[in-house]
Amino acid sequence: MKYKYRTIDKVTGEVHHYFDFKELKNYLDIYSEELEIRDSYKKSYECKNESDAIKICESFNIKLEIL
């Protein structure tokens, strides 16, 4: 089975691989919650699709690669 996504944390250098969007979403849910706390006056930062994932990653200086 091949990986579908890879994230690279540009600050720590950590690299993670994911087989599907569900795995990626589980990883990004932590960051989504932090964004909601930071920007509580704005809309929800729920990770529903690849576009949402890209926005969340950009907010935390994480490179998202779709393989």
pLDDT in tens, 26-57: 999 998 888 877 776 566 678 999 999 999 99
57 vs 12: CA distance, rounded Å: 14
Who wins on pLDDT, 24 or 39? Answer: 24
Both tokens assigned to 45: 């930062």
Expressed in angstroms, the distance from the first to the final Cα of the chain is 13
Q: Write down the pLDDT at residue 44.
A: 66
Confidence of residue 21 (pLDDT cuts 50, 70, 90): very high
Confidence of residue 1 (pLDDT cuts 50, 70, 90): confident
